[in-house]
Amino acid sequence: MQSNTIAVDLAKSVFQVSFADERHRITKRQRLNRSQFKRLITQSPPSRIVMEGCASAHYWGRLAIAHGHQPKLLHAKYVSAYVRRNKTDAADADALVRADGDETLVPIAVKSVDQQALQSLHTIRAQWRSALTASINQAKALLAEFGLIVPRGSQALGQRLHQAMLDLPDLLQPAFSELIIQIDQQTERLTTIDQQIRAIALTHPDAQRLTTILGVGPMIATAMVARVPDIHAFKRGRSFASWLGITPREFSSGGKRRLGAISLRGDVYLRTLLIHGARAALLASRRNEKAGRPLTQLQRWALATQARIGHNKATVALANKLARIIWAVWTRGTTYNGDDALRFN
């Protein structure tokens, strides 16, 4: 049976499929297991396959492309608005058919295997970083229970923990020693994956160009390359910054425009890295100013903004500016020298 649109509610083992014609009228519904759904993709004539951009969607999207289909991934948040009455697998698949007819919904580009692998590296790194922080906090909290305070900072942390452990009760020392070993192992693992990501940044052309931007290092550059499947899908830098959730939230009505705090609606990981990068860039600009070293136009703008609205707000404003510069550098395939701040607005 030929169909113009195949809408699929993805799952691990059970897939609900709705077939629709060119007018988005549903002609058939099926419930398939994993092997049956794979057979549907490999044996069906070229069609548009609509899915939510969730787990495994990029894998199925790549498989669809390999067999001549046109995959279309839609954001789950926007598809939910098309679900009528009760939420079921069949209702979700039907909602995808209706959402496919909405031309205002921008589809998600299918990621390549390399992009997903790089994104997975960042996911593992984030989890390891969180586990290391939890272990360090646990060790410090245990020491504080016995009146032993370890100074802030991670330099020579293992040595400080070993020294403090000698003042703990004998009953606790063996377990605490294992905790220190765990912290050392976690630190070593994190160092190894950081080195791997830095090596990728040195060889990836887009990541190399992004690292020429103030405040953008290997971590931010490779995260952008991994998590932004198609930078050309954004028509301007402002749209990219909005997608990251670092533009003001708007509450406008009756001809009155009201702007609030940043929307926080984008990729949390990318936004966090970008704000950390902006904070580091702002501090570096201030050090250069105190040392009497020459400042770029972007650094002068950042310091003037800090003097006007304060450090934290200036950090977010600089992150917004960096997002727009990233878009310009990436889409134009050029580098950045810090003196093109106005041209890249």
The CATH number of the domain where 32 resides is what?
3.30.420.40
- Residues 305, 327, single domain; the answer is yes
Q: Is the pLDDT of residue 342 over 60?
A: no
Per-residue pLDDT tens for 215-259?
Answer: 999 999 999 999 998 999 899 999 999 999 998 888 887 778 887
Q: Are residues 66 and 181 in the same domain?
A: no
Q: Check pLDDT > 60 for residue 343.
A: no
CA-wise closest residue to 109 among 227, 6, 11, 210 = 227
- Do 20 and 37 share a domain, yes or no? yes
Does residue 242 share a domain with residue 196?
no
Answer whether residue 158 is part of any domain. yes
Say if residue 215 is in the same domain as residue 326.
yes
CB-based burial label for 213 (10 Å; 0-12, 13-18, 19+): buried
Q: Is residue 337 part of a domain?
A: no
Residue 149 within any structural domain of the chain = yes
Tell me how many domains the chain contains.
Answer: 3
Evaluate whether residue 106 is within a structural domain.
no
Share above pLDDT 70 across residues of the chain, in percent, rounded to a whole number: 97
| Domain-located, residue 234 | yes
Is residue 342 in a domain? no
pLDDT per residue as tens digits for the range 307-340: 999 999 999 999 999 999 999 999 999 888 777 6
Residue 105 lies in a domain: no
Domain identity same for 181 and 223? no
Do 326 and 217 belong to one domain?
A: yes
Same domain, 184 and 130: yes
Given 100, 123, 152, the domain boundary residue is 100
Domain ends where: 100, 130, 160?
100
pLDDT for 1 equals: 42
What share of the chain has pLDDT > 90, as a percent? Answer: 79
Confidence band for 154, pLDDT divided at 50, 70 and 90: low
Cα gap 120→287, rounded to integer Å: 35
How far from chain centre, in Å, is Cα 252?
29
Domain-embedded: residue 188: yes
User: What is the domain extent for residue 248?
Assistant: 207-332
Last residue of a domain, one of 153, 183, 203: 203
CA distances in angstroms from 255 to 1, 164, 238, 247, 252, listed in the order given: 52, 64, 22, 20, 7
Same domain, yes or no, for 176 and 270?
A: no
Asked whether residue 211 falls in the same domain as residue 327, the answer is yes
Provide mean pLDDT across the span 50-69.
94
Same domain (yes/no): 197, 314: no
If asked whether residues 235 and 303 sit together in one domain, one would say yes
72-100 per-position pLDDT tens digit: 999 998 999 999 888 899 999 999 999 99
